[in-house]
Structure 1
Amino acid sequence: MALFVILAGCNMLPQRSEQDVGAEIPDQWVEERTISQPVFEHWVEIFGDPQLSNLVSSALANNYELKAAAARVDAAIAQARIDGASRWPQLSFFVEHEQMQIREAGFGSARFGVFEALFGLSWELDVWGRIRDFQQAAVLEADATAVDYHGARLSLAARVAQSYFELIEANLQAAVVEQSVKDRNIIVSLVRGRFQRGLVRGLDLRLALTDLANAEVELKEARNQIQIITRRLEILLGRYPEGKEMDVATLPSLPTDIPAGLPSELLERRPDVVAAYSRLQAADFRTVSSKKLRLPRITLTAAGGTRSTDLTELIDPRAAAWNVITGLVQPLFTGGRIRGEIFRNEAFAEGALNFYKSTALNAFREVEQALAAEEWLRQQEISLRKAVEQTEASQKLAVYSYRNGLIEILTLLDSYRSTLNAQSAHLFITRQLLNNRINLYLALGGKV
């Protein structure tokens, strides 16, 4: 009776649910202001940039971090096979030859060889499913590792896309600064001419030359930023980081549709959440398997073979000797090893459960954050676009006013700096909008 009670306790897996994340899951996203739309399966194509699509494809084929992740999947699958090997009979066979010499007093010595052919078989009958549960845990771990690989593909595609957009922005920023340097040269020529005619002081020319020098420094920094981003992108593509200049166009328009799906769908789609749940299930199977260590084990052992000085007799089945042993092993005292194994696996399962809840809640946070940032960044972009228009208009007025002696040199130079700052900020926020959309696709677990 006690055996059946123990067996019943060992066979009970905890009742788990993917929806149990430690908090109530809403029907709609809190920050979403429109009806949920399906998540795009291949979000890279949404931007309509063939060069981006080609770069992502190249990275997925050549990135070494991704290849390492693929190798981990193969290793996890092999480990699952190893952990399940004990369910089957283990058979070994070997042949050996032994050379012997016997000496007898007064009779000399005799030398002869002995041939042996031996086999051994061992098999633990998995009547309680202990080995099967252990193997199932390894299979779930392999599943989680495979999902990690898909998550790595998604993360790599996102990093390539963000680096690509960052490179485009860096080139546009450099173009803006380069134009600013040209404008500052025009200002220097204007001030120098007025100085030579005695219309302004030498201080005005010094300030204009200082402003030009600062703009040239900014241009060098902008070009240096291009090579830094280029090398980082080359590494993602699996190339040598030579900093080779890439032909890039302009930042694409932000896709109008915001795919968000439903919060509950995230638990079945996002790779890190799915992997965490698989590892939780694996921990449960290991706990059940360790509890079954307390049950009796039935083993089958067989051994046999032949031994002869004549090689031809080695394969004669009549010369073979063998034995078969069936055994029953019941652990009685193990010094706390089995109990410790159970407690350890229960602790791992508890840790896996809390890690799953933390991963799921963090996934919800990232989606909500990206959805909330979308509107804020849009408003920022509109305001900065207006600022660019106003500063460009004020710059033209400032040049006219300075030519006619209506304003000081500092006001003129400040108008050029304001224009440069507004243009730079607008480019930055435009890229941030694209980056945030990529973060949304990443948070939603879109495919590539």
Structure 2
Amino acid sequence: MAAWVLCFLAGCVQTPPRDPLQETVPLPVSWRARPVAAQKGEVGAWLASFRYPDAVALVTAALDGNNDLQAAAARIRQARAQARIEGAPARPQLELAPGFAHAGAGREARAYADDGTLWTLPLNLSWEWDLWGRIADARRAADLSADAAEADWRGAGLSLAAATVQTCFELAEARQRLAVVQASIDDRATLVDLLQGRFNLGLADGLDLSLALTDLNDARAELQDADNRIQLGQRRLDVLLGHYPAGETGLCRQLPELPEPLPAGLPAELLTRRPDIVAAFARLRAQDHRLSSARKALLPRVNLAAGGGSLGNTLADLSDPRAAAWNLALGLSQPLYAGDRLQADIDLRAAQSDEALYLYRQTVLNALREVEQSLAAERKLLEREQALAGAVKQTETSRELAIYSYRNGTVDILTLLDSYRSTLTAQAALLQARLNLLNNRLALYLALGGGA
């Protein structure tokens, strides 16, 4: 025992110092995928940068009504209550236990009244002097777990905001695609009407009419697919907002323009800004304190116990000062052998602390990857969007030429129908590219951990 006390006094039973930057891989001074000049400035709120009132309204409603976010808030309250429970043994415990007993004739009934009754009013006080900080470590671990839960809640709010905006963008893209497909159907229907009239007059080949009808039905199938995507997007939005999934949302009809890039900050700043990293580091420190508490369980414990109260043969006797009695005891206990339970608990906590350290490092690496990936992807996505915009213009020109040439008899029906399909494919691809750009920007903002 003396050896353990001396070891503690020498500072052996302490939580290790932790620094978020020192516990992970060496970080570069700037993001590799973006020039340093574009990184200056503080990472701030990103929602307003889209200049999209529909998204702002939906995010506000989601943060107020989403059930998953409310559940995360409830977990914070649970963790704070658990922290109070962990710290309770360091405070005096007072108990009042009034009692009544009745005994029949015999030697054991001598202390009782003539009718065999005895009233008692004991008051017991107990308190453990947290000499080594074992209870304080357990309380600190619980507080850090509550801090982690709060960081999780902040992260859940950011994820919810991003998911809501992303769903809004996807719904807008589906509605714009529906309009594009409908316009293509109108053009193809005009061609079918023309061919049907010419066929009725014996001026058109039945094969041409059949091919045009087939192409029209294919476009109508695409229309149903686009309409189904709209219904899915509307219902996802309803659930994110905590509403019944009626699928009647009228917002999100046009994709916004890609906003100007916001500052990305520096890699080291991510460690204290991004909620999942903050939560992982808090859990690491919590495990350190649990390990310290487990080690201190081997040290002696000092307990103070006090009792007092009164007893009497009647209720009136309980208020008589002469019936009062009290006692006070100071105890020292030293664990000697517990079937290896205490050492196993230390080994368990040490392994959990190691696990928390590796999880923290992996969380940081994943966060860094997400930022670098989004920064690098934006340039490629912009180039793709520009190429597809040019392709749309070219296919529209080709379609107009194909219509003119078909009317003059210089191209066949297959060439004309192919021009319709190429135009629709290019328009749909351009919409998807713009959606990918917006979603990638959302992913970047979420990866940076800035507020919505």
Aligned twin of 2:380? 376
Unpaired runs of at least 5, structure 1: none
Q: Does 1:230 align with 2:234?
A: yes
Aligned twin of 1:350? 354
Q: Does 1:445 align with 2:449?
A: yes
Q: Does 1:148 align with 2:152?
A: yes
Distance 1:22 1:82 in 2: 33
Distance 1:31 1:39 in 2: 18
Cα deviations across residues 380-439 of structure 1 (Å, max 9, x unaligned)? 110010011011111111100000111010110000000000000101110111111110
Deviation at 1:119, TM superposition (A): 1.1
The secondary structure found in structure 2 opposite 1:17 is coil
Distance 1:386 1:418 in 2: 13
Distance 1:270 1:247 in 2: 30
Cα deviations across residues 115-147 of structure 1 (Å, max 9, x unaligned)? 211111111100111110111000000001011
Q: Does 1:8 align with 2:30?
A: no
Distance 1:63 1:322 in 2: 56
Q: Which moved more, 1:92-101 or 1:22-31?
A: 92-101
Distance 1:245 1:354 in 2: 44
Distance 2:7 2:259 in 1: 61
Q: Does 1:364 align with 2:381?
A: no
The secondary structure found in structure 2 opposite 1:117 is strand
Does the Cα contact within 8 Å between 2:16 and 2:288 map onto a contact in 1?
A: yes
Superposed counterparts of 1:122-141, under 5 Å = 122-141=126-145
Distance 2:139 2:106 in 1: 56
Distance 2:438 2:42 in 1: 17
Does the Cα contact within 8 Å between 2:7 and 2:13 map onto a contact in 1?
A: no
Superposed counterparts of 1:305-320, under 5 Å = 305-320=309-324
How many residues of Structure 1 are paired with residues of Structure 2 in the alignment? 444
Aligned twin of 2:416? 412
Aligned twin of 2:275? 271
Superposed counterparts of 1:161-200, under 5 Å = 161-200=165-204
Superposed counterparts of 1:31-430, under 5 Å = 31-33=33-35, 34-100=37-103, 102=105, 111=115, 113-430=117-434
The secondary structure found in structure 1 opposite 2:235 is helix
Cα deviations across residues 338-397 of structure 1 (Å, max 9, x unaligned)? 111111100000000000000001000000000011101100110010011011111111
Distance 1:406 1:9 in 2: 94
Does the Cα contact within 8 Å between 1:143 and 1:275 map onto a contact in 2?
A: yes
Q: Which moved more, 1:217-226 or 1:353-362?
A: 217-226
The secondary structure found in structure 2 opposite 1:111 is coil
Q: Does 1:432 align with 2:443?
A: no
Does the Cα contact within 8 Å between 1:151 and 1:271 map onto a contact in 2?
A: yes
Q: Give the % identical residues.
A: 49
Does the Cα contact within 8 Å between 1:91 and 1:120 map onto a contact in 2?
A: yes
**What residue identity is the alignment partner of 1:8?**
A
Does the Cα contact within 8 Å between 1:39 and 1:446 map onto a contact in 2?
A: no
**What residue identity is the alignment partner of 1:17?**
D
Deviation at 1:100, TM superposition (A): 5.0
Deviation at 1:10, TM superposition (A): 4.1
Distance 1:45 1:315 in 2: 71
Distance 1:315 1:7 in 2: 49
Distance 1:103 1:285 in 2: 57
Aligned twin of 1:27? 29
TM-score (norm 2): 0.95
Q: Which moved more, 1:307-316 or 1:26-35?
A: 307-316
Distance 2:49 2:237 in 1: 21
Distance 1:441 1:37 in 2: 15
Distance 1:163 1:7 in 2: 58
Distance 1:298 1:245 in 2: 65
**What residue identity is the alignment partner of 2:29?**
D
Distance 1:22 1:58 in 2: 37
Q: 1:225 to 1:340 in 2, by over 3 A?
A: same
Does the Cα contact within 8 Å between 1:402 and 1:409 map onto a contact in 2?
A: yes
Does the Cα contact within 8 Å between 1:165 and 1:431 map onto a contact in 2?
A: yes
Distance 1:189 1:63 in 2: 50
Does the Cα contact within 8 Å between 2:155 and 2:275 map onto a contact in 1?
A: yes
Q: Which moved more, 1:211-220 or 1:265-274?
A: 211-220
The secondary structure found in structure 1 opposite 2:123 is strand
Q: 1:135 to 1:374 in 2, by over 3 A?
A: same
**What residue identity is the alignment partner of 1:250?**
Q
Cα deviations across residues 179-225 of structure 1 (Å, max 9, x unaligned)? 11101101112222333344432100000001111111111111111
Q: Which moved more, 1:30-39 or 1:398-407?
A: 30-39
Distance 1:442 1:49 in 2: 18
The secondary structure found in structure 1 opposite 2:164 is helix
Distance 1:327 1:245 in 2: 69
Deviation at 1:98, TM superposition (A): 3.4
Deviation at 1:22, TM superposition (A): 4.0
The secondary structure found in structure 2 opposite 1:252 is coil
